Amino acid sequence: MHIVFTDLDGTLLDHETYSFEPARPALERLKMLEIPLVLASSKTEAEMRPLAAAIGIDYPMIVENGAGIVNMPDGNTEQDGVYDRLRGLLAAMDPALSRHYQGFGDWSDEDVADKTGMTLANACLARKRRFSEPGLWSGSEEEREAFAAVLEEHGFQAVQGGRFFTLMPKTSKAEAMARIAKSYTGQSDASVVTVALGDAPNDAAMLEQADIGFIIANPAHAEMPVSAREKAGFIKRSSRPGPAGWNDMILQLFT
């Protein structure tokens, strides 16, 4: 059986309008073939649920950039309380270090809307965190290393993204993809073929690890570098950007 894992912004969702309408024919094809579609994004569960409902799917979702998996059929309670543990660790840390870090949990919806350009309603959903804490670092590089070392000691990692310095468990979108594929392998006799779609460097590990990868064109970013997997033919590129490219690649694969 196939399972499709997809990034959202700039991949299934249009970079500008956030619409997935151009991908409707491919989404219908997946539905007809009963192929699970796993959304994998930096967004929170609260942000992704309405989207899954609009697409008409109810599969596991990789949320908060791989920090957590929600909606697993078998339930996965071992991840419960991750966010509270992270915030607790910040509260218990030497203030000489922690005072240089501010995250979504320190900010109001208005603050997050200001810092991200989101609407207030979306900022409210983005603050409903369960597994990771995006924020900003204001100390020195040396202090930042000491701060990251404390997190490391407690089983967390600090990842510098384009905008935010994010604290999360030591996992990733790629690792979450492997866990979900494994859970489906357990349920069926057929082996699982993983298909991944993404548009940016934070999808690279997922694209590399998938059996079949598609890089969706995004004219707003620099081109993704060509990897050995791509040279070997396991990764292909769409010519059209966003959901139109997504539609092309999925229909090509499943026709």
Order of strands across the sheet that contains 61-63: 68-70, 61-63, 37-40, 2-6, 193-198, 212-217, 235-241
Q: Which ranges of the chain would DSSP assign to H, the alpha helix?
A: 24-32, 45-55, 82-92, 95-98, 109-116, 120-126, 141-153, 173-187, 204-209, 228-231, 242-253
What is the nearest approach in angstroms of Mg ion to the Cβ of residue 37?
Answer: 16
What is the nearest approach in angstroms of Mg ion to the Cβ of residue 62?
Answer: 13
Which residues have CB under 8 Å from 149's CB, separation 6+? none
Order of strands across the sheet that contains 101-103: 101-103, 133-137, 165-169, 156-160
Residue nearest to Mg ion (CB): 10
What is the nearest approach in angstroms of Mg ion to the Cβ of residue 227?
Answer: 17
Residue count of the chain, please give it: 255
Looking at the Cβ atoms of 64 and 199, the one nearer to Mg ion is 199
9 DSSP 8-state letter: B
Looking at the Cβ atoms of 19 and 108, the one nearer to Mg ion is 19
Interacting positions 173-232 with Mg ion (CB under 5 A): 199-200
Which one among 9, 143, 175, 230 touches Mg ion, defined by CB under 5 A? 9
Looking at the Cβ atoms of 127 and 173, the one nearer to Mg ion is 173
What is the nearest approach in angstroms of Mg ion to the Cβ of residue 9?
Answer: 4
Find the part of the chain contacting Mg ion (CB under 5 A) among 10-18, 59-67, 118-126, 188-196.
10-18
In order of 89, 233, 238, the CA distances from 73 in angstroms are: 30, 33, 32
Q: Are strands 101-103 and 68-70 parallel, antiparallel or unpaired?
A: unpaired
Looking at the Cβ atoms of 126 and 200, the one nearer to Mg ion is 200
Query: How many residues contact Mg ion, by CB under 5 A?
Result: 5
Beta bridge partners of 6: 39, 197
Which one among 5, 10, 217, 246 touches Mg ion, defined by CB under 5 A? 10
Q: How crowded is residue 106: how many other Cβ atoms within 10 Å of its Cβ? A: 13
Which residues have CB under 8 Å from 53's CB, separation 6+? none
Looking at the Cβ atoms of 39 and 158, the one nearer to Mg ion is 39
**Residue 106 annotated to the active site:** no
Which one among 6, 7, 59, 109 touches Mg ion, defined by CB under 5 A? 7
Find the part of the chain contacting Mg ion (CB under 5 A) among 6-14, 72-80, 169-177, 180-188.
6-14
Site pattern 122..141 for Mg ion (x: CB under 5 A): --------------------
- Interface residues toward Mg ion, by CB under 5 A: 7, 9-10, 199-200
Query: Among all residues, which ones are annotated catalytic?
Result: 7
